[in-house]
Each structure stands twice: as C-alpha cells, then as structure tokens.
C-alpha cells in the first residue's frame, strides 16, 4: 500500500483550517482522516484538530468497525462542544470530518459534512460520501446534477457538521481490489475540480505525489479560494 498527502492554504486564506491524519497500523491496516474546520479567531483550526485528534489512538477491529468510527465522531462532537462552551472566542466553531479505515481489501468509513471519500475502481471514480450541504440534499433527491451542485451558490452551507446541533454521521463499507485507490479531499479541492478532472489525474501513470501536486495546481489555477487538502492511498 502506498500513501501520500498534501495540504495548501490556498490563495485567499491566512490560516489553514484543514487537518488530516495518516496512521499506518501495519502493512494491511491504515486509518485516514480528514477535516475542514470553520469559525473565526483560529476556532476552525481548533475544531478540526480536536476532531482529527479523536482518532489518534483509534485501532478498530471486530465485526462492526464503522460503528467504532462513528463512536470516535461522537467523542469529537463532545470535545468541540466542551471547548466552545469554555472559550468564548470558540463559540460556534465546527468542522467536517471523513474517516476511512482500510483493513486488507475492505474499507470502512464514517463521515459528516462536505469533506469527501472517493474510490477509484476499474478506471471509474466512485463518490462514496454524500455532501451534507443544501445542494448535496438536492442532489441526493435527484433534483439537480453534480455539476449544478458543485456550482450552487449555497454550496458551502452545511446541513450537518461537528459542533452543529445536527451532526449525525453517515457510515458504511466497501470492498477494494488490487490497484484501486482511495482519495479523501476537502471542499477546497473538489469545489474547484469536477469529478471527471480528478479521475483523469488519478488515471495518469505518474507517482501519487505528482498526482496530488497536479490537483493542487489545478485548484490554484481555478482561484484557490479555500484551503486545499487531499490524502490518497493505493491498494
């Protein structure tokens, strides 16, 4: 298994409120987590770090790995709420979070917000997670297309997040095959790159580092309006 990651503040943000975690437990077990914080006075950075930090000692096992990941999300929610109550400047802080645990050829995931998990299988890019946003809600109902959702004026209005009243995570699992890739991204990347463009880069015969560099360069060329973070692993 090969793993690479990248993060960039973008062109218009003083701080990078994205956080991620790569925890290689052994050759067959890897935990990947990505978060995108929100809130003024560095509160977004704190929220994202608290969320990612809730997974630092996570070593899932047994029959229900996805439930163990959602338990960590519950822990993150409690930590964020506690900190926001203790520090006035942290009031209203929140974060998205996507977690993926690879156990051999099986992947387990849990997710809240609009960070994403993708699965590249057989030359096709599969979006595993749903965006918990207003256009994401319309997309799930089949009322708009993916491109309309990507360009929607309320694309960054979250319907669920950690630190919010509604933080209920989605979770699930899927099988992978040799040669597959998984990709975790924040909206600073996928808001500026259609899935087709992401897929085209993933299919190029170049290193993982080069693929991530191309993605960041494409986002910066498109305006770099937000922090940009991605984590990729090949099976």
How do residues 80-138 score in pLDDT, each as one tens digit? 999 999 998 899 999 999 999 999 999 999 999 999 999 999 999 999 999 999 988 89
pLDDT per position as a tens digit, 174-233: 999 999 999 999 999 999 999 999 999 999 999 999 999 999 999 999 999 999 999 999
Burial of 130 (0-12, 13-18, 19+ CB in 10 A): middle
Task: Tell me which residue range forms the domain holding 138.
Answer: 2-234
Beta strands in the chain (DSSP E): 2-8, 18-26, 29-38, 94-103, 106-112, 116-121, 124-127, 170-175, 181-185, 228-234
Percent of the chain with pLDDT over 70: 99
What CATH number does the domain containing 9 carry?
Answer: 3.60.40.10
Number of domains the chain is built from = 1
């Amino acid at each position: 298994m090969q793993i690479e990651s990248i993060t960039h503040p973008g062109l218009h943000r003083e701080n990078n409120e994205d956080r991620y975690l790569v925890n290689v437990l052994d050759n067959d077990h890897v935990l990947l987590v990505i978060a995108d914080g929100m809130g003024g006075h560095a509160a977004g950075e704190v929220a994202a770090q608290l969320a990612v930090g809730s997974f630092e000692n996570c070593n899932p096992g047994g029959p229900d790995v996805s439930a163990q990941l959602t338990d960590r999300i519950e822990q993150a929610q409690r930590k964020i709420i506690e900190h926001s109550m203790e520090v006035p400047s942290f009031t209203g802080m929140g974060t998205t979070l996507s977690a993926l645990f690879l156990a051999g050829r099986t992947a387990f995931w849990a997710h809240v917000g609009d960070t994403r998990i993708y699965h590249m299988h057989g030359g096709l890019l599969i979006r595993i997670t749903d965006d918990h946003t207003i256009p994401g809600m319309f997309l799930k109902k089949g009322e708009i297309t993916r491109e309309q959702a990507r360009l929607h004026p309320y694309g960054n209005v979250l319907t669920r997040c950690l630190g919010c009243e509604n933080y209920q995570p989605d979770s699930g699992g899927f099988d992978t095959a040799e040669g597959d890739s998984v990709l975790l991204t924040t909206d600073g990347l996928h808001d500026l790159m259609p899935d087709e463009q992401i897929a085209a880069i993933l299919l190029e015969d170049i290193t993982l580092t080069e693929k991530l560099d191309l993605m960041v360069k494409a986002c910066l060329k498109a305006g770099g309006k937000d922090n940009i973070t991605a984590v990729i692993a090949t099976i």
